[in-house]
Structure formats: C-alpha cells, structure tokens
Structure 1
Amino acid sequence: MRAPDTYDYAVIRVVPRVEREEFINVGIIVSCAGAKYLEARIELDEARLLALDPQVDLDTVRRHLATIPAICAGGPGSGPIGLLPQRARFHWLTAKRSSIIQTSPVHLGRCTDAVAAIEHLLQRMVRVARD
C-alpha cells in the first residue's frame, strides 16, 4: 500500500455582494504535488445563489467559475496563468481577493487518492442534503 500524500485545498465561494460578506460554497480546488494533481470542480446551486441575491448576474458568475477548472487543467487554451507550474496556478487561484469569486483559506489534508479526496470535500463542503 502506498503512503498517503499531503494535499492542499480551498473551497470556492460566490460572494454576490462583497460588502455583505455573505457567500455560498460552489466548488473545491485540490492540489496534490505528490500525485501531480491539480483540479477544481464546480457545482453551482443557482437557486441558493438567487436566494442570497436575486439580482446576481448568473451568466457572469458561470463564466468566471468556468475559468477555474480551465486554469487548473493548464495548457495554451487556459490563458497566461494556465501556463504557470501547477503550484503557482494553485497559489494564484487561492490568493486573497475581494471580488464575487473568492476562496477559503487553504487547508491541508492527506490522501492516497486525490480524486476521492476532492469528491469527499465536495460532499462535505459544497453539496446540500436534499429531503
């Protein structure tokens, strides 16, 4: 059995009205250097976001959120940030900013399967249990 790798993660948040500091969690970014893994998954619950701010521009939010997985994937189609090394892309994505798309502080974990770790984090931090 292989030894666990350490990974960093941050929760992606939409903050529709920055001055109110209210947000919903909409995704996870995981960086695992040992597995050469950097991925973001987005699951935007539009109804929850609209409940928080009925005037939010959903098209703009969707467009901005779509850039995060593209930057994680890297390559020529992901813009200049997507050409940076994986760790630099993770740090750029998780840098503190006061805009509609923000991330939580970076947290640390250990795993033997980064894909399973991101799925677990989505379930725990993003998805809402439905009755």
Structure 2
Amino acid sequence: MTAEEVDAFLAEQRTVRVATNGTHGPHATPLWFVWHGGAMWLTSLSRSQRWADLAADPRIAAVVDAGEDYAELRGVELRGRVEVVGEVPRTGEPVPELEGPEQAFADRYTGGTMYHDGRHGWLKLVPEKITSWDFRKVGSA
C-alpha cells in the first residue's frame, strides 16, 4: 500500500491486534485504536497483562487486517515502542496532546463523547517500521 492507502485503511478499521513481550512469552490481544497524526493511539486497561508487559518492555507489534477471501486480504503491521500519554489511569485532566486522539476515538466509538472511567490509559505508538499488504492488487497491472 502507498502511505496514503495505509492512512485511509487505518482510518476505516476499528480493531487492532497488539503483541507485547511478557515474562512468559508473547501476549496478543485486540484493542480499539485511532490513527491520528502519524501515530497509533491505543486505550488500554492500566491494570492488565498488556500494561505490565509494556511497562517492562515498551516494544510492540500491532496488526490491523481485513478481508475474507485470499484476493481480498489486506493489512498493516506497525512496530515500535509505545509511550504513555496522560495520567494513569486516565480521569480526564487536560492533556493537549490527547485532545485530537480522544475526539477521534469518541467520534469513532462512543457517539462523539469521550468517557474517562478511571481504568484506562493512553499509549502512543509512533511506528519505527510499517509493513503493509493488499492482495486485491495481485495480478493487476
């Protein structure tokens, strides 16, 4: 995919699968996300295996994919290190860096209103490597 196609694909998909490095090996889980400003923004329970894994080792791989039949398969893998943004757990204190991602998240998942439940925190992944594929293009000239 081109960079523009990657941006469009990540803007339309709703679920990412993230893999972290835990003390007992890899740990893969689905999450909601937004692609905003060249970064993947993940909201995660701050008392979870994923959060503990990332506190010890911030490296992450994230895969977003779509398609059923072989000729429809497409996706994006992002690799890099996450950073925590905002208070943990998130209670809604003003954080300018979170204004755009939180509004994008609210628009996508909660009807435009951001809810802070005091259990989640924000993780920002600025990819060090992006790999994409689009089997719909296989065989096209």
TM-score (norm 1): 0.28
| Greater length-normalized contact order (CA 8 Å, ≥ 6 residues apart) | 1
Question: Which is higher, the Rg of structure 1 or of structure 2?
Answer: 2
Structure with the higher strand share, 1 or 2: 2
